[in-house]
Structure 1
Amino acid sequence: MRQLSELDASFLYLESETAPMHIGGIYLFDARECRKPLAFSTFVAYLRSRLHVVPLFRQRLKEIPLRLGRPYWIDDPDFSIERHLAYVNLGNHGKVDSLMELASRILEEPLKRDRPLWHITFVDGFQLDEHADSKSFALIVKLHHAAIDAFSGEEIIGKLLEYSPKARAIETPRPWHPQPEPSEERVILQTGANLLRKPLQMTSLAISAAEATARGLIQKQMRKLPLPFPLFSAPHSPFNRQITANRKIVSASLDLSRLKAIKATLGDVTLNDVVLGLCAETLSRYLDRGNATTERSLVAMTPISVRSSSLRKATGNQMSAMLLDLATTEPNPAERIRRIHWNAVESEPYREAIAADRLTELLPSTMLALSARLYSELQIAQRYQPVFNLPITNVPGPQVPLYLQGSRLVAQFNSAPLFDSMGLVIVAVSYQGSLTINFTLCPDVVADGDSLPELLEDSLKSIESAAETLPPYEEDTREYPDSHPTLTDEALNVMEGALRKTFRRFRN
């Protein structure tokens, strides 16, 4: 019986019919080196023999009455692997485009809450090339964001796959004895104990926040840097509109060595800065094509894994989040990468101090669920400037080939959930010397999404050209216009008025 963190639970509360909160993966395998293609029955037997390496595959949610606390993960005594698998044969339509269309339709459907939150579709008849006997197949995987983040999702897939082209003998599944489901009385007692600990959590969080703020202010004063921009101050963009249930996945792969060469040319930047700069240039070109440029720079939310420094649990979301100015008002695409690096360094004291899962501990589960639902139903993002324009996640993947029963993984595409006012998410995943940029979008919000791969290639060429002639780095002395009144400003004004009244009463 393991309780979800507030961050994990928030993905449950944000989920709706038009916004399923699962992470998706599309994995393409080449079986031409095998004597025969992998049969679906063999895949089921293989997966059954590997269930012990991923315990969450046999755990479901246990809700708390009246949502007095966060749900728990418990063993599912009725677990049946057949409820989590599907088989599709594309027949004569086994091309990549057909596979992506099928994946988009599958990923539109939310996972069912009465069972462990994952599902895999085995796609037969898929062709990697023009040869009908290419012996290829694909897997379409759905894992709920409440159970994993993008970084742990890659770890799970790595555990299920193999590092040798020689097919591993399928072993007899290990015996599994699920723990009995906890009684309602025990769940309520545990919830009460957690509520009693809440004041201690609030005190700990307040101390951490104070230390983070003090350290950040001191560093910024020393560096004479401007304070970070406030929340709800990102510019309105075409990406920030009400979404529908329709989904589309658009992907493009690039040679990772080209991005490393740009990093070497620019000097004091990271490979992640180059990836963010490439995404920023692509977004700028997309907005220019639609005559929808913004006067102020787009803001991205970039999740950062804290798994390496905080191994508190095997799965779930162990992330910190950083709001990052993408410097899209900078006309030089190579100089923009330097600006992005500068902005990331500016935000570093804040992102390192408090992880995202701790920031939500102040809110009881009922309030967190209510606020998440109200954010969507009242269309708060439509009435105020958004917190950020889109999430961009860069996930380092293995640089050695992976296999499934002798079939080599040749490509993978990944999707991330959309939610109210976020019609576009970018996930970049590297594998075997290649970087795949995946755009998960709502086609009713992001029109002409099929143009993004072409814009991505043009953007990379433009950055390569600009990097060769980039002058030495100079400090940014331009003045930026003040932001418009935001929801944060209004909230601070209300709190300021309440504090004045309180102080006045004490004086009286």
Structure 2
Amino acid sequence: MSEQSNISQLSAQDAQFLYIQSATNLTHVMAVYIYDPSTAPGGKVRFKDIIEHMRKRMDISPMFKRKLYRLPMDIDHPYWVKDEHFDLEAHISHGRLPEPGDWRQFCIHVARHHSKPLDMTRPLWDMYVVEGLDNIPGYAKGSYAILTRIHHSTIDGVSGAHFFAAISDKDAKGTPAIPLPEGRPAAVDLPTVAEILSRAVNSTVSSPVKLAQALLKFTPALISTAQQSLKGGEDQTASGVPQTRFNGPVTPNKVFDAVTFDLEELKKMRLKVSDATINDVVLAICSGALRHYLTKHKELPEESLVAVAPVNARSRSGDDATPGNNISAMTIKIWSNIVDPVERLEAIKDTTRETKAAKSGLSARIMTDLTKHIPGVTMASVARILTDERFAPKMSNLMISNVPGPQIQLYMNGAKLTHQYGLAPLAHGMGLFIATPSYNGTISFSIISDRKMMPDVEFFRECLQRAFDELREAKPNAAARRPKKAAVAPKKPQTPKDGSVMYRRVAKKPRTVAPKAIGGSTPKVK
């Protein structure tokens, strides 16, 4: 963001999602919302009602009416400018699910829409209303879907969740779910040629100095990480990321499927291992599903699969509403080579805790910081190389994203929101993405992959269900079964006769020792 309020330039992190986009590597995200109109006035919602609702909510975010202005040869990061020809109805379309209107047809319809590029000459979002969802188990008769696509340069998972809450209502009467902003977003204007050139030159000249300063700041941590790598740390494998069917070039043709679970069940599962989190349970279910899937195809590697998990880098100061990206990531083993589901969850818990504080979290922070100081023309050139299928690095086997959503019932136009799914970009060398948005006591595991890599996506959905059932039925580990000792309450201070304050000694709590990493008691693998 510039010093002048009417000029808005993309950050380096936002811009990189533009630079890495290609015909086979689209970088928009898509949310799928299912509505039951039985709660709406008259039990029906018309297409024009949806348009008028969005017209009233246009001022909640500047992203709705601004478009990109890219510079020649990407000499600097692009700017946001006002779309003088903005037409709301050009961004909202309408269709109907083909017969027989079942779940399989719906998944195909969703995948095809996700596989189409956005119009990059207009504001980078659109909505597609789909009717005819009458033969899908769990959906009320008359239900319809709204498929909302937004380019990743505009929004990340956290700001996307805030955007959705802002266009939703907390009751069927139309009361906004969150307070709407007063007034309209500040208009964004095209900078002058002099301003563009000045910024581009300044960025190119100052970037090497800032880059060097950032490298110096991280030098001690980099040296420590290098020393650990040379020693061959316990989490190192000979091949790093194992080769799987998901580590090849992706095509423009995507597949989608999903399964929804009760969030309370996942909360119970995390109690099977001491200090495990919901995110650990999500990773464990995905790991178990991949184990079943690859075993069926006789492709399960001996080493653990590796996943990239996005990490919210926003502060707690309430900047969720700010458009754009503020994310980091961690790369972790998901222990797909462990047979027992509880042992797998425990290993994941230990690994995520170590990773957040150790080198994988460090590398993510380094990359996030360093990209701020790379000139636009350099970043664009490097991005084109890295997104070429011949040079794409094998950083992981898949990506797993867990973004908590609103845990209250939401509405739009009086229609009740019943289900929610999420789709995200793939990349050469990483052709599987599992998004797990939660909403109103449920969590949906959304599968996005390439049609060639996963032609049997419905079987992988069954594997997720099987992994969920196994972890739910498994017995907790010994530490989780052991009752916790009651905390020793501190004694109240006593006042001796001389008036001085004296405290009784309170027994110290035993020092918590991190459980041994896998290796002390070797879990059963393969």
Q: Which residue of 1 aligns with 2:8?
A: 2
1:41-87 deviations in Å (ceiling 9; x for gaps): 11111101101001111111111222111111222222111221111
Q: Using the alignment, how far apart are the partners of 1:313 and 1:157 within structure 2? A: 10
Q: Which residue of 2 aligns with 1:267?
A: 274
Q: Using the alignment, how far apart are the partners of 1:130 and 1:312 within structure 2? A: 34
Select 1:359's aligned residue among 370, 388, 409: 370
Q: CA deviation at 1:132?
A: 11
Select 1:56's aligned residue among 54, 63, 87: 63
Q: Assess if the C-alpha contact under 8 Å between 2:97 and 2:109 holds in 1.
A: no
Q: Using the alignment, how far apart are the partners of 1:283 and 1:230 within structure 2? A: 19
* CA gap 1:479/1:239 in 2 versus in 1, 3 angstroms: farther
Unaligned runs of 5+ in 2: 1-6, 481-514
Q: Using the alignment, how far apart are the partners of 2:440 and 2:296 within structure 1? A: 33
Q: Assess if the C-alpha contact under 8 Å between 1:64 and 1:188 holds in 2.
A: no
Q: Using the alignment, how far apart are the partners of 1:132 and 1:392 within structure 2? A: 26
1:376 aligns with 2:387: yes
Give the AA of the match of 2:198: L
* CA gap 1:468/1:264 in 2 versus in 1, 3 angstroms: closer
Q: CA deviation at 1:163?
A: 1.1
| Farther-moved stretch of structure 1 (304-313 vs 127-136) | 127-136
Q: Which residue of 1 aligns with 2:120?
A: 113
* CA gap 1:319/1:250 in 2 versus in 1, 3 angstroms: same
Select 2:422's aligned residue among 414, 420, 426: 414
What's the % identity of the aligned pairs?
Answer: 27
Q: CA deviation at 1:216?
A: 6.7
Q: Which residue of 2 aligns with 1:181?
A: 190
Give the AA of the match of 2:402: N
Q: Using the alignment, how far apart are the partners of 1:67 and 1:318 within structure 2? A: 22
Q: CA deviation at 1:255?
A: 1.2
| Farther-moved stretch of structure 1 (132-141 vs 291-300) | 132-141
Q: CA deviation at 1:140?
A: 0.7
* CA gap 1:462/1:228 in 2 versus in 1, 3 angstroms: closer
Q: Answer with 1 or 2: which has the greater Rg.
A: 2
Q: Using the alignment, how far apart are the partners of 1:16 and 1:479 within structure 2? A: 47
Unaligned runs of 5+ in 1: 481-508
Q: Which residue of 2 aligns with 1:395?
A: 403
Q: Using the alignment, how far apart are the partners of 2:336 and 2:369 within structure 1? A: 31
Q: Secondary structure at the match of 1:361?
A: helix
Q: Using the alignment, how far apart are the partners of 1:422 and 1:131 within structure 2? A: 32
Q: Which residue of 1 aligns with 2:23?
A: 17
Q: CA deviation at 1:361?
A: 2.9
1:443-471 deviations in Å (ceiling 9; x for gaps): 11123111122111211222233333667
* CA gap 1:370/1:132 in 2 versus in 1, 3 angstroms: closer
Q: CA deviation at 1:164?
A: 1.5
Q: Which residue of 1 aligns with 2:3?
A: none
Q: CA deviation at 1:479?
A: 12
Q: Which residue of 2 aligns with 1:465?
A: 473
Q: Secondary structure at the match of 2:372?
A: coil
Q: Using the alignment, how far apart are the partners of 2:258 and 2:273 within structure 1? A: 26
1:201 aligns with 2:248: no
Give the structure with the larger helix fraction: 1
* CA gap 1:11/1:131 in 2 versus in 1, 3 angstroms: closer
Q: CA deviation at 1:271?
A: 1.2
Q: Where in structure 1 do 4 or more consecutive aligned residues deviate above 6 Å?
A: 130-133, 173-177, 214-218
Q: Secondary structure at the match of 1:249?
A: strand
| Farther-moved stretch of structure 1 (5-14 vs 201-210) | 201-210
Q: Which residue of 1 aligns with 2:354?
A: 346
Q: Using the alignment, how far apart are the partners of 1:133 and 1:281 within structure 2? A: 31
Give the AA of the match of 1:442: D
Q: Assess if the C-alpha contact under 8 Å between 1:89 and 1:125 holds in 2.
A: yes
Q: CA deviation at 1:9?
A: 1.5
* CA gap 1:443/1:10 in 2 versus in 1, 3 angstroms: same
1:154-173 deviations in Å (ceiling 9; x for gaps): 1111111111221359x9x9
Select 1:33's aligned residue among 34, 39, 46: 39
Q: Assess if the C-alpha contact under 8 Å between 2:8 and 2:188 holds in 1.
A: no
| Farther-moved stretch of structure 1 (182-191 vs 56-65) | 182-191
Give the AA of the match of 1:361: K
Q: Which residue of 2 aligns with 1:88?
A: 95
Q: Using the alignment, how far apart are the partners of 2:138 and 2:456 within structure 1? A: 30
Give the AA of the match of 2:168: L
1:237 aligns with 2:259: no
Q: How many correspondences in the alignment?
A: 472
Q: Assess if the C-alpha contact under 8 Å between 2:100 and 2:135 holds in 1.
A: no
Q: Assess if the C-alpha contact under 8 Å between 1:321 and 1:355 holds in 2.
A: no
Q: Secondary structure at the match of 2:421?
A: strand
| Farther-moved stretch of structure 1 (271-280 vs 309-318) | 309-318
Q: Which residue of 1 aligns with 2:287?
A: 280
* CA gap 1:21/1:231 in 2 versus in 1, 3 angstroms: farther
Q: Which residue of 1 aligns with 2:170?
A: 163
Q: Assess if the C-alpha contact under 8 Å between 2:17 and 2:27 holds in 1.
A: yes
| Farther-moved stretch of structure 1 (276-285 vs 205-214) | 205-214
TM-score calculated relative to the size of structure 1: 0.85
Give the AA of the match of 1:33: T
Q: CA deviation at 1:180?
A: 3.8
Q: Using the alignment, how far apart are the partners of 1:176 and 1:470 within structure 2? A: 55
